[in-house]
Structure 1
Amino acid sequence: MSYADKISALAHMLQNSQPAFAFTGAGMSTESGIPDFRSPGSGLWTKVDPASVSTLTVLKKDPQKFYQFNLPRWQSYRQARPNTGHLALAELERRGLLVGVITQNIDGLHQAAGSRRVWELHGNLRECYCLSCREKDEFDVLAEKVGSGEIPPRCRHCGGILRPAVVLFEDRMSEDYFQAVQVLSGCQLLLLLGSSLKVYPAAALPEKARQVVIINHDPTAWDERAELVFRESIGRVLGDLLVELDRQQR
């Protein structure tokens, strides 16, 4: 099947397979300048063992190491801007063709692009909270404390240790994950965008969808079960999809 034929088929599927959702991974944000995690040779976790820098144990036992490694990259994520793929998903939601986006990403770019219904499986970089009293605060409060040398950063309410509202290795999954499990009940079409589908339990969510379409540069374990597989960039495919939807509706 040619690329044009696949775009046409995807447009038809999206209009006739409701409810539909998007599921996004790190590859969704590479076009915004954020590196992914597991691409061979270039992914962050192919160079650094996440167990040595991004676990709850490291946060508690060696907060200096934890923040020295993680805070600069998290701050860079917060400077990124939505790409054409993020904007296209927001437009598909606006048109009523997507219920919303389920994402493994913590960068907030779906919301910045205008997506209204977003389930953040691995947390976010908008908030932090205290390990003792669980009081929430803005992520900037944590970042400012670490930047001024207060490591670990302390809660202004009880003096406990502040931590980011991201799901670390060893953490329980976010509440959004459990909500996503529920909202995917009855899902007719799931667009799998930029995910290696290797990180569990999130990688099991496609099991709930009747049909899946994959847009990812590298092969995944789901390719053989997908209705369509695209190896092109997410921005290109979703941009062309919007053009084809407009053509079919004329």
Structure 2
Amino acid sequence: MNLYEQAAKLLKDGKYTVALTGAGLSTESGIPDFRSSTGYYANIIPEDALSNDVMYNEPERFYKEGYQILKDLEGKKPNDAHFALTKLQEMGLMHEIITQNIDNLHQLAESRDVLPVHGDASHGHCESCQSVYSFEEIDDLVQGGEIPPRCPKCGGLVRTNVVLFGDAMPVEFERAIQATERADTMVVIGSSLRVMPVAYLPRQVKNLIIINKDMTPYDGYADVVIHESAAVALTRILECLK
């Protein structure tokens, strides 16, 4: 039995399965991993550029550096890995999808019960009146020279719904903990499993499948480890399930 067949068997035998997805799942949609050592992100420290401290106290810098990471998500489309997870849900073999990604691609692939534990870049809100704004509306304000962007309704600060470094974790993280407690099986896809507190979750399940091109700290703990791209691995697992 090869690794894909082993993973498929765990999915079929699992009573309650959740996914945990990270940046490696979305790189195939053309979204760069900002922790990569290549490209212009190499000169940006994400913990700094995407921090609430910089957003509030150095807005010009935030909208020059951290904001660029968010803007790079515009126009991106789900890839085969996103659609494979939707298919697994349709087959009744996948329940919640816990994602560290902020790109909204699971939702665009029509997955349900998606828990974006690091927030979502597709929208923002006014901190004063709580009015909701699309990223495109926020970008219009920024491109018009309004930094930081202000709410056209009340003048309050408009900010992204992304969980920045220094922000509290959102309610979706508590729901992710609850989903993990219900689960007996987890499939980790494209996550380095190095970012806390999310990296704590895989320890809570009985059966663990890891799909990631690089090694993770949990490889020795997992039942199945597949060092392959997310789209290739999930497609092969689906073929084994047919």
**TM-score, normalised via structure 1 length:** 0.91
Partner AA of 1:96 in structure 2: G
Do 2:48 and 2:165's aligned partners in 1 also have CA atoms closer than 8 Å?
no
Determine the structure 2 residue equivalent to 1:50: 46
Distance 1:45 1:18, change over 3 A: farther
Distance 1:122 1:8, change over 3 A: same
Give the structure 2 partner of residue 121 of structure 1: 117
How far apart, CA to CA, are the structure 2 residues paired with 1:240 and 1:172? 38
**What is the CA distance between 1:74 and its match in structure 2?**
1.8
1:53-73 deviation digits (Å, cap 9, x = unpaired) = 111111111111111223333
Quick one: which of 120, 130, 133 aligns to 2:129?
133
Cα shift readout 1:192-239 (whole Å, capped 9, x = no counterpart): 111111111111111221111111111111000000111111111100
Q: 1:45 deviation in Å?
A: 6.5
Query: Does 229-238 or 178-187 show the bigger shift?
Result: 178-187
Q: For the residues of structure 1 that align with 2:123 and 2:27, how far apart are their CA atoms?
A: 23
Distance 1:18 1:43 in 2: 42
Alpha-carbon contact 1:38-1:44 (below 8 Å) kept: no
Q: 1:22 maps to what in 2?
A: 19
Aligned to 1:77: 73
Q: CA deviation at 1:135?
A: 3.2
How much has 1:46 moved relative to structure 2? Answer: 5.3
Cα distance, 1:44–1:36 mapped onto 2, change above 3 Å: farther
Structure 1 22/51 Cα, relative in aligned 2: closer, same or farther at 3 Å?
closer
- Mapped partners of 1:15, 1:207: distance in 2: 21
Letter in 2 for 1:195: S
Shift of 1:44: 7.4
Identify which of structures 1 and 2 has the higher relative contact order when contacts are C-alpha pairs closer than 8 Å and 6+ apart. Answer: 2
Query: Given the alignment of the two structures, is residue 161 of structure 1 paired with residue 157 of structure 2, yes or no?
Result: yes
Query: Contact conserved, 2:34 with 2:69, CA < 8 A, in 1?
Result: no
Residue 76 (structure 1) shift: 2.4
Unaligned stretches of 5+ in structure 2? none
Unaligned segments of structure 1, at least 5 residues: none
- 1:225 is aligned to 2:221: yes
The whole-number CA distance in structure 2 between the counterparts of 1:51 and 1:18 is 37
Cα distance between partner residues in 1 of 2:146 and 2:123: 18
User: Does structure 2 conserve the Cα–Cα contact (< 8 Å) formed by 1:22 and 1:193?
Assistant: yes
Q: CA RMSD in A?
A: 1.6
Question: What does residue 7 of structure 1 align with?
Answer: 4
Structure 2 letter corresponding to 1:72:
Q
Aligned residues with identical type, % of pairs: 38
TM-score by length of 2: 0.94
